[in-house]
C-alpha cells in the first residue's frame, strides 16, 4: 500500500484524512509500517468506501492482517446504529459466514506425539473429510438441516458429537439466536446436506500444534496452556450453505439499497438498513449460517477426539475456545459515555472482549477472551487475550490470521505443492492434502508474517499475546 497521505497517530495506528469536500466517517488502519506496506492499495480504497455508508458509528477500520476482499477488505471492522439508518452488508460479513477457529487443549506433550506423528497425520487425513465439495458421513434432509440451523453446536452435542461442557467455551454458548432457517434458500440447504463435519478447502485446516512459547504466564494458566503441550486447531466455516446465502442475498440487498436511495460507493457493498425487511431477512439467514458453522466445528471436534483416542487411549481433548471471524453481531458498546446497541461487522476479524466482560466464561473472566490468530500452513499460530483497551479502539476486535500478501494466482507462480510439502517435512511439519495446487496456493510465503501481525495486534492494544503454537501436523483440503 502506498502510505502517502496517511497520518500516523502512533507507530501502530494510522488514519486516512478526508479529501477536500469529502463527506465520510473517519478511517483507521491498525498495523506497523512494514505491514501496511505489504497491503494492496485496494484495502485503502475499500475501507474508505465503507466509511461512506449510512449509520456508521465511529471509524471504519482495518486490522493489522488486512487485505483485499469482496466489498469490505478482509480484516475490516465497522459498527452501525440501526436507529440512525445503519446498514447490514453481505460484503461486510463475507461469503464463508462464521468461518472461525476452534482450539482444543490436550493432555499430551510433544514427546508423546513424536513417535506417532506420521500415524496421526494419516489417521486424521482419512477421518476428516477435506477438499472442494467433499462430503462426510452425515447426510441430512432439509428438515433435519433446519434443526442444525436453529441449534448450532447445541444440536451437535445433543446428537453425541461432543460434550456439553464444550458449549461453555463456544461463542454464543454454541447457539446463535435469531436464526431463521426459512430465510435460507432450498439450494443453499441442498449444498449443505452432505457437508456437515467437513473441513473444506482454501485456507481451512486442522492442525496439531505444540505450545512453543509462552508470553503471558498468568493468562496461559487460565487458558490451560503450558510449553511443550499439544493442542489442536480447527479452522473452517459454514461451507456451501454460507457461500450460497452470501450469493443469494447480494441481489436483494442491492435492490433494497436502490429502493431506499442508498448511494453505494461500490456495488460490492450492497446493503440494506438493519431495520428494513430485507435487512432483517438477511440477518435471519446469516444467523442460521453461524449455527451451521458452530455445528460443523463441533462435529469436527468429535472426529478429532476419535482419532486421538485410537492412537492415545488416555488422551483428553477439551475446548479452549471457538471464535468466529466472519460475522455481524448485535452488541452493546459504550460510545462517548453512552451505551448503544450496535451491529458490528467483523470480516476477517475476531471478537476480542477484555477482562471482566460478563459474556466470558468464569475461567477466562480475569484474563480476557481467548483470541486465535491462525497462521498459514507451516508458520505457526498465536493465542492472545482480549484487552479492555480494544473496546475503545475497535469495538473489542482483533486480527484473525496472517492475511494474504499475494494472490493464489501469484502463489502458483512461486511454489509447487510437492516441493513445498517435502520442504516442510524437512522442518518437522507433516502436511496431508488432496490438492497439490491448493498446497501451493496456501504456501507460507504467500501470507504476511504472522509474528509481525501478532506483535502489531498487541502493540496496537487490540489483544495481548499469550502463546505461540508451532505446527506439527496439518490437514488441508
Catalytic residues: 400
Location of C-alpha cell 512453543: 212
Contact 292, 192 (CB under 8 A): yes
Contact 476, 130 (CB under 8 A): yes
Torsion sign (Cα): 13, 400, 74, 347: negative
CA dist., res. 477 & res. 472, Å (int) = 17
Beta-ladder partners of 430: 473
Could you give the 3-state DSSP secondary structure of residue 116?
helix
Contact 251, 264 (CB under 8 A): no
Cell numbers linked to 5: 497521505
CA dist., res. 122 & res. 78, Å (int) = 42
CA dist., res. 301 & res. 463, Å (int) = 26
CA dist., res. 349 & res. 390, Å (int) = 13
Q: Residue 147, Cβ neighbours under 10 Å: how many?
A: 16
- 165 phi-psi bin (left φ>0, alpha ψ -120 to 50, beta other): alpha
Amino acid at each position: 500500500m502506498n502510505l502517502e497521505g496517511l497520518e500516523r497517530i502512533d507507530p501502530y495506528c494510522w488514519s486516512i484524512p478526508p479529501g477536500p469536500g469529502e463527506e465520510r466517517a473517519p478511517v483507521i488502519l491498525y498495523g506497523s509500517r512494514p505491514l501496511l506496506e505489504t497491503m494492496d492499495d485496494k484495502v485503502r480504497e475499500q475501507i474508505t468506501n465503507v466509511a461512506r455508508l449510512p449509520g456508521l458509528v465511529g471509524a471504519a477500520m482495518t486490522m493489522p492482517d488486512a487485505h483485499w476482499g469482496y466489498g469490505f477488505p478482509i480484516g475490516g471492522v465497522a459498527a452501525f446504529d440501526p436507529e440512525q439508518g445503519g446498514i447490514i452488508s453481505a460484503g461486510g460479513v463475507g461469503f464463508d459466514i462464521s468461518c472461525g477457529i476452534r482450539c482444543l487443549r490436550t493432555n499430551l506433550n510433544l514427546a508423546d506425539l513424536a513417535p506417532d506423528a506420521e500415524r496421526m497425520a494419516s489417521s486424521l487425513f482419512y477421518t476428516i473429510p477435506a477438499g472442494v465439495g467433499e462430503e462426510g458421513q452425515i447426510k441430512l434432509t432439509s428438515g433435519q438441516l433446519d434443526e442444525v440451523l436453529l441449534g448450532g453446536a447445541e444440536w451437535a452435542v445433543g446428537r453425541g458429537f461432543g460434550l456439553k461442557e464444550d458449549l461453555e467455551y463456544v461463542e454464543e454458548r454454541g447457539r446463535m439466536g435469531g436464526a431463521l432457517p426459512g430465510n435460507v434458500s432450498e439450494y443453499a440447504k441442498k449444498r449443505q446436506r452432505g457437508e456437515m463435519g467437513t473441513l473444506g478447502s482454501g485456507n481451512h485446516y486442522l492442525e496439531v500444534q505444540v505450545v512453543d512459547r509462552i508470553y503471558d504466564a498468568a493468562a496461559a494458566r487460565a487458558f490451560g496452556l503450558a510449553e511443550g503441550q499439544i493442542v489442536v486447531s480447527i479452522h473452517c466455516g459454514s461451507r456451501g450453505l454460507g457461500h450460497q446465502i452470501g450469493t443469494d442475498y447480494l441481489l436483494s440487498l442491492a435492490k433494497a439499497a436502490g429502493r431506499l436511495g442508498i448511494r453505494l460507493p461500490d456495488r460490492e457493498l450492497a446493503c440494506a438498513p438493519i431495520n428494513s425487511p430485507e435487512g432483517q431477512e438477511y440477518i435471519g439467514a446469516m444467523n442460521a449460517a453461524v449455527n451451521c458453522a458452530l455445528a460443523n466445528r463441533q462435529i469436527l471436534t468429535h472426529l478429532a477426539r476419535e482419532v486421538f483416542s485410537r492412537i492415545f487411549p488416555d488422551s483428553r481433548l477439551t475446548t479452549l475456545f471457538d471464535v468466529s471471524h466472519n460475522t455481524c453481531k448485535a452488541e452493546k458498546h459504550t460510545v462517548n459515555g453512552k451505551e448503544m446497541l450496535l451491529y458490528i461487522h467483523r470480516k476477517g476479524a475476531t471478537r476480542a472482549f477484555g477482562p471482566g466482560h460478563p459474556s466470558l466464561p468464569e475461567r477466562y473472566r480475569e484474563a480476557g477472551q481467548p483470541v486465535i490468530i491462525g497462521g498459514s500452513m507451516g508458520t505457526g499460530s498465536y493465542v492472545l487475550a482480549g484487552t479492555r483497551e480494544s473496546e475503545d479502539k475497535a469495538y473489542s476486535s482483533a486480527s484473525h490470521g496472517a492475511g494474504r500478501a499475494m494472490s493464489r494466482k501469484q502463489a502458483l507462480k512461486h511454489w509447487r505443492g510437492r516441493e513445498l510439502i517435502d520442504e516442510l517435512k524437512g522442518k518437522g511439519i507433516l502436511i496431508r492434502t488432496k490438492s497439490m495446487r491448493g498446497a501451493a496456493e496456501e504456501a507460507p510465503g504467500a501470507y504476511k508474517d504472522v509474528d509481525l501481525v501478532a506483535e502489531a495486534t498487541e502493540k496496537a492494544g487490540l489483544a495481548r499475546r499469550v502463546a505461540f503454537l508451532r505446527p506439527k501436523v496439518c490437514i488441508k483440503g
